[in-house]
Amino acid sequence: MTINTTLDTALGFTIPERHVRGRVVRLGPTLDRILGAHGYPPAIERLLADALVLAALLGSTLKHEQGQLTLQAQAEGGAVELLVADYKAGEMRGYIRHDPERVAEMPADPTLFALFGKGYLAITFDQAVTGERYQGIVPLEGASLAEAAEAYFTQSEQLPSLVRLHSKRLEDGSHVAGGILIQHLPEGEEGRERLHTRLDHPEWEHVLALAQTVTTAELADPKLTPSDILWRLFNEDEVRTFAAVDLQRGCRCDPGHIRSVIARFPVEERAEMADAAGEIHVDCEFCAKRFSLSLESI
C-alpha cells in the first residue's frame, strides 16, 4: 500500500469485510497553480481548496477517463455568488465569484452560511461513454463544505458517508490540502438498503468511529502519504487500494476551442461581439486569462 508521492494524488480503497469504499486526496503544487491565477483572500482560498479536494474525491470515482465531475455552489445575497470546481481525467480547475469588500468584513474563518447565505450545492456526473448525466441538488447547509457534501449524499444518494476536508498555507507561502471520503455500501452493492444500514450493519459504525479520528493536521500534512493515513485509521482491517490517480491543473480553454465555439454563432452576432478594432475578447474565469481573436480568423 505504498505511494511514492504525498501530493497531487487520489487513492481509492475498499474495506471488503466492512462493505466500505473511499478515497483519500492530497493537493499541493496543483493547488498552488490554480490559486495563483486569482489572488483570492485567505477565506476564499480555503473555500476553493476544499471544493477542489471534494471534486477530486468524487471525480476520481468515475470509471472512464473522459467522464467529468462538476461541483457548483450558488447563492444570492451572500459574499460568494458562485463556486465551480471540476474534475476530468485527473485534471482539476475551479474559480469563485465573490464580493471582496464583503469578504474583508468577515471574520478570519467564516462559516459556510456567512459566505453564501442561502444557496444550493449541485453535483453533476457526466458519463462520457454512455452520454448519461446525473445531477443531484441539495440546499447548501452545514458549517462547512464537507458537511454540505455529507447532506448531499444523505439526500441524493442515500449512502451513509463521511467527508473531511482541510487546507492550509505553509510557511513558505505554498498550499496543501487534503480530504477523505468514506461510504458504506451494504453487502458491497449499490442501490440496496442504504440509509437504514446504520441499524442493520454495525460494521459501518465501527468504520465511522475510526474514520472520525482523522485530524485536520493529518489530512494536510505533506509528509504523510494517503497510505499512511489509511494505515493509521484502519490498521486492524484488510484495506485494498487501487492504483493512485495523478492530479494536475488542467484548464481546457485554448484559442482553438474558443474559436470553434464562437464560430457556431451567426455572423451578425459575431460582429456584435467584436470591438472597434474587430477583436473578440473572451475571459476564462478558471485560469484568469483573456483570449483575443480577430473576426477574420473565425
Report residue 5: phi and psi, to 5°: -130, 155
- Same domain? For 124 and 271 the reply is no
Note whether residue 284 is domain-resident.
Answer: yes
- Same domain? For 243 and 262 the reply is no
Q: What is the pLDDT of residues 94-109, one digit of tens each?
A: 999 999 999 999 988 9
CA distances 262 to 255, 256, 275, 282, Å, are 10, 10, 15, 10
Note whether residue 4 is domain-resident.
Answer: no
Pick the last residue of a domain from 231, 249, 267: 249
Angle (nearest 5°) at CA 69 between 67 and 75? 155
pLDDT of residue 131: 73
- Same domain? For 242 and 278 the reply is no
Of 55, 42, 125, the residue nearest 83 (C-alpha): 55
Number of domains in the chain: 2
Separation CA 205–CA 227 (nearest Å): 22
Q: What is the pLDDT of residues 172-198, one digit of tens each?
A: 999 999 999 999 986 544 444 444 444
Q: What is the pLDDT of residues 9-40, one digit of tens each?
A: 999 999 999 999 999 999 999 999 999 988 89
How many C-beta atoms lie closer than 10 Å to residue 168's C-beta? 17
Predicted structure pTM score: 0.87
Of 265, 271, 267, 263, the residue nearest 298 (C-alpha): 263
